[in-house]
Chain A
Amino acid sequence: MNPIFKILSNLGDQVTSRIWRLGSAARLFLLTLMYSGESFKRIHLTIREIYFTGVMSFIIIVVSAFFVGMVLGLQGYYTLQKYGSSESIGVLVALALLRELGPVVTALLFAGRAGTAITAEIGLMKATEQLSAMEMMAVSPIARIIGPRFWAGVISMPILASIFSMVGVLGGYLVAVPIIGVDHGAFWSQMNVNVDFRFDVVNGLIKSFVFGVACTIIALYEGYDAPPTAEGVSRATTRTVVTSSLTVLGLDFILTSFMIAH
């Protein structure tokens, strides 16, 4: 075969297979929404999954947020003092966390902590025929397995992002006020005046909601689509982290563009 033709053919294969996967992920997303009524009938399952995905991610979110806030405090102070506006450190930390770092870093941590667990669990359920067994018992795995995990992720993400931003602000405060010596009142009052609820807080929550949908459906799809082998599940788990991270960063740019334009 002509080498150029071979390269083009491989490229075509790659593109087609990615489009096909995107289509089946979208199909799974729609089916999950369609079966949501059945999923919510078993609300205890969603609550249980909120515990596994949300509550179990709490520690990693709090610790990361604290360090991110402290680093922001240090870096922010170092830069702001050059311009004589070190009192604005509170605003800088709050805006950076609420608008960007809170939703984005939470989503990246969520993909690594909860997303991988979801993919591995569903992939192994498929490999051990648990999903087939459920289908043969006339119980839809989408309503019983996928739906509760999806809604747990979507509900958990904005809450985790809010906790991240709050703890991050406290981290920034700890470095800026007690350690560096920025004025306590200036730190909070400048933040109070310059942070807009609709533009900063709500937009951050919208972002984390969208990231919640994206990260959870990617993790679920990768698990549901994983070849039922050890290698298949491990590759699917890796793909969950890579695809979720890139999707979050890409979506962040798109959402930010729309939010700033309005």
Chain B
Amino acid sequence: MTQKNIIEIENLSFGYGNRMLHKGINMVFPRGKVTAIMGGSGCGKTTILRLIGGQINPKVGQVSVDGKIVHKQDRHGIYELRRKMGMLFQHGALFTDLSVFDNVAFPIREHTKLPESMIRDLVLMKLNAVGLRGAHKLMSTELSGGMARRVALARAIALDPDIIMYDEPFAGLDPISMAVICDLIRTLNDALGATSIIVTHDVEEAFSFADYIYFVADGVVAAEGTPKELSKSKLPFVHQFVHGEKDGPVPFHYNAPSYKKDIYESV
């Protein structure tokens, strides 16, 4: 039976050494929806994607993808799950020794035995979807940041995944590229019937296309809701984040002894 939520995160705790990054996180990602995970830098948003992909294992709790607990899968099981996922990395992570065409063809060649003529058609279709069919002969090193991100997106959807994960898809992009990526996320999600998870700290963009948003702070889900609900939220953290206030529950200053003590008594 197909489950309503394609991904479920239950009571997830994860950390490096003694430093816990997540302390009992619960999230669900319904099929066909675009869900954003937001929060300040270093709060462990990208780590959640890596936990979903099974690249790291939780210390407590579990992540289920399509009803299967990720960290209990063997290598074969993890690879089976990953074939249902496409991931767009923060800087694209294109293979620098391959052309744009070969980058997009990479997962198709690795996982199917399709003839080269069909692979060519599929690759050009995927590149056309991101508007870069004309760039298929370029090397990945010849692309701008925005173009690289779009090629990486074409590669992520090459095998028509059920889940598309985006790690900071807007970081470092100009407004035009940002609008293009923003539009592609929604369009591809709906056209492929996929489920999208976007990790970002760009409030305006996320609020414009996400169906549901989770705010992560101090290792827990600090707030959640639809963009409409969250924009009206009175929670101090959400208010500070959404309005970009420099001081608030997230302090401007890193934890430090008193200023006076540092200046006068350190000599």
List residues of chain A with CB under 8 Å of any chain B CB. 125, 128-130, 132-133, 135-139
Contact = CB atoms under 8 A, between A and B. Distances in A.
A136 B82 contact: yes
Interface string B53-71: 1010000000000000000
B55 A135 contact: yes
A137 B79 CA distance: 8
Contact of B107 (A128, A129, A137): A137
A-B complex: 3 closest residue pairs judged by Cβ atoms: A133-B93, A129-B93, A138-B79
Given A128-B96, A138-B111, A139-B110, A133 B87 contact: yes
Contacts of A128: 91, 93, 96
Contact of A129 (B53, B78, B91): B91
A246 B170 CA distance: 47
Interface string B172-197: 00000000000000000000000000
A136 B110 contact: no
Contacts of A138: 78-80, 82-83, 110-111
A120 to B, nearest CB: 12
B209 interface: no
B82 A133 contact: no
Contacts, number: 42
B207 interface: no
Contacts of A137: 82, 106-107, 110
A132 B55 contact: yes
A139 B85 CA distance: 13
A148 to B, nearest CB: 12
Contacts of A133: 87, 89, 93, 95, 152
Contacts of A130: 93-96
A254 B18 CA distance: 43
Nearest to A145: B95
Contacts of A135: 53, 55, 82
A40 to B, nearest CB: 15
Contacts of B93: 128-130, 132-133
B47 interface: no
Contacts of A139: 106-107, 110
A14 to B, nearest CB: 19
Interface string B76-108: 001110110101011101111000000000110
Scoring B80, B94, B110 by chain A CB atoms within 10 A of each residue's CB, the highest score goes to B110
